[in-house]
């Protein structure tokens, strides 16, 4: 299948973006340097075009019921203007996708899902739709820009009258920004930095992108590719679907017990509850390399007796820490922070230590 272009494809090419097919879309993987872009977000402000993400709207009298059934977190706790990290558990103990649930109004929600899973998720939710629910897949109608970094709020405050300081983490408002009405301004992100994600209709996206860059020029704003997005999220220990979580990993094994609420019933909740009571057999952990080298997906994790105890699910060189970092599953009991492990990198076994998340702790 040919990869689709996102609305601002031309803009990214003009900015020198190296476009690569990712999750069915041609996406900018980098503009200049992964490391430079990473540092720009940690130190200044950067903008990611993540318009490949999927947006589903769920409305009607049965909207909350449907969301409660298909997601693991408790959406009944949301008030209008709040967002919640959640996942769609499957019926066999794994995860269909992770997502953010936005409560837009009474009986009106937006679900934001991973680009690679848009069709899978849509079919999954659609299959469970009831008559009192209207479902809309608006993924192609919306662009999504993540403006992230210590100067993000100053940048965006220049182009909106909405008091951005009042938008607390994981809350949002709909307002005018960059001269465009009804943009969803959400205090969320995937970097560990302060910042906002802006959901804007595709026809207004180019104008908003330009306004954001104009406002951020004095702070050294830069476009940021998917390469740096991955290193930023990995330093924070945030899961990436397809790497750290997938159809076979349970949310409890993945350390997502905090979004798995047994105060309600949901897909596979009985089995997950049993798993919680019995205890999981493996856990997702973060680790840092003490030796020189870089862990990569699918490398073996060993204990100090050189017995395989798990497998790396994500790994990179951390631009902030200048060392190899990663995440992976290890046998329960060997997962505690401070545990010394070995990572099999080609013909060597490199020393590493399991650390508490986030892997990168800000100054």
- Does 33 engage in binding with another protein (CB under 8 A)? yes
178 contacts 160 by C-beta, under 8 angstroms: yes
Q: In this chain, which of 39, 120, 296, 311 binds another protein, going by CB under 8 A?
A: 296
Q: Strand 142-148 to strand 340-345: parallel, antiparallel, or no bridges (unpaired)? A: unpaired
- Does 201 engage in binding with another protein (CB under 8 A)? no
How buried is residue 204: exposed, middle or buried, by Cβ count under 10 Å (0-12/13-18/19+)? middle
Q: Sketch the per residue contact string, 338 through 357, with another protein: x for CB under 8 A, - otherwise.
A: --------x-----------
User: Would you say 101 or 327 has its CB closer to another protein?
Assistant: 327
231 contacts 318 by C-beta, under 8 angstroms: yes
Beta carbon of residue 322, minimum distance to another protein (angstroms, whole number): 9
Rounded distance between C-alpha atoms, residue 282 and residue 3, angstroms: 36
Q: In this chain, which of 135, 162, 201, 294 binds another protein, going by CB under 8 A?
A: 294
User: Would you say 15 or 35 has its CB closer to another protein?
Assistant: 35
Q: In this chain, which of 6, 12, 30, 152 binds another protein, going by CB under 8 A?
A: 30
CB atoms within 10 A of CB 34: 21
Beta carbon of residue 329, minimum distance to another protein (angstroms, whole number): 21
Beta carbon of residue 9, minimum distance to another protein (angstroms, whole number): 20
Q: In what order do the strands lie in the sheet with 195-201?
A: 172-177, 180-186, 195-201, 142-148, 46-49, 222-223
Rounded distance between C-alpha atoms, residue 188 and residue 362, angstroms: 18
CB atoms within 10 A of CB 35: 16
- Does 243 engage in binding with another protein (CB under 8 A)? no
Q: In what order do the strands lie in the sheet with 83-89?
A: 83-89, 95-105, 108-113, 54-59, 134-137
- Does 15 engage in binding with another protein (CB under 8 A)? no
Rounded distance between C-alpha atoms, residue 56 and residue 99, angstroms: 11
Beta carbon of residue 176, minimum distance to another protein (angstroms, whole number): 38
- Does 28 engage in binding with another protein (CB under 8 A)? no
Q: Where does this chain touch another protein (CB under 8 A) — which range of 4-12, 45-53, 223-231, 274-282?
A: 223-231
Q: Where does this chain touch another protein (CB under 8 A) — which range of 27-35, 130-138, 151-159, 259-267?
A: 27-35
* Total chain residues near another protein (CB under 8 A): 16
- Does 230 engage in binding with another protein (CB under 8 A)? yes
Beta carbon of residue 321, minimum distance to another protein (angstroms, whole number): 12
Q: Where does this chain touch another protein (CB under 8 A) — which range of 80-88, 210-218, 289-297, 336-344?
A: 289-297
- Does 316 engage in binding with another protein (CB under 8 A)? yes
Q: Which residues pair with 98 in a beta bridge?
A: 87
> 251 — phi, psi (to 5°)?
-60, -30
Q: Which residues pair with 95 in a beta bridge?
A: 89
Residues in contact with another protein by CB under 8 A are 29-30, 33-35, 227, 230-231, 292-294, 296, 316-317, 319, 346
């Amino acid at each position: 299948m040919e990869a689709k272009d996102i609305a601002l494809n031309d803009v990214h090419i003009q900015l020198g973006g190296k476009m690569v097919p990712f999750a069915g879309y041609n996406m900018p993987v980098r503009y200049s340097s992964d490391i430079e872009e990473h540092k720009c977000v940690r130190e200044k402000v950067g903008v990611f075009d993540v318009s490949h993400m999927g947006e589903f709207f769920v409305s009607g009298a049965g909207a909350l019921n449907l969301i409660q059934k298909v997601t693991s977190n408790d959406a009944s706790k949301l008030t209008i203007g709040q967002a919640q990290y959640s996942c769609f558990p499957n019926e066999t103990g794994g995860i269909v996708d992770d997502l953010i649930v936005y409560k837009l109004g009474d009986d009106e929600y937006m679900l934001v899902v991973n680009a690679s899973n848009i069709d899978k998720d849509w079919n999954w939710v659609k299959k469970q739709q009831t008559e009192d629910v209207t479902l809309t897949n608006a993924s192609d109608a919306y662009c999504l820009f993540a403006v992230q970094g210590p100067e993000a709020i100053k940048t965006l405050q220049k182009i909106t009258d909405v008091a951005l300081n009042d938008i607390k983490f994981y809350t949002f408002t709909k307002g005018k920004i960059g001269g465009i009405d009804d943009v969803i301004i959400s205090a969320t992100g995937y970097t560990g930095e302060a910042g906002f994600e802006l959901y804007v209709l595709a026809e207004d996206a180019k104008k908003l992108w330009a306004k954001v860059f104009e406002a951020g020029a004095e702070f050294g704003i830069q476009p940021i590719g998917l390469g740096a997005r991955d290193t930023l999220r990995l330093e924070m220990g945030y899961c990436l679907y397809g790497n750290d979580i997938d159809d076979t990993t349970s949310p409890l094994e993945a350390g997502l017990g905090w979004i798995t609420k047994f105060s309600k019933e949901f897909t596979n909740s009985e089995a997950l509850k049993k798993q919680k009571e019995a205890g999981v057999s493996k856990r997702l952990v973060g680790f840092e390399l003490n030796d020189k080298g870089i862990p990569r997906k699918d490398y073996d994790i060993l204990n100090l007796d050189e017995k395989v105890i798990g497998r790396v699910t994500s790994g990179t060189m951390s631009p902030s820490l200048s060392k190899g970092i990663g995440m992976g599953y290890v046998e329960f009991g060997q997962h505690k922070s401070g545990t010394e492990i070995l990572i099999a990198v080609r013909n060597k076994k490199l020393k590493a230590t399991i650390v508490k998340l986030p892997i990168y702790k800000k100054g």
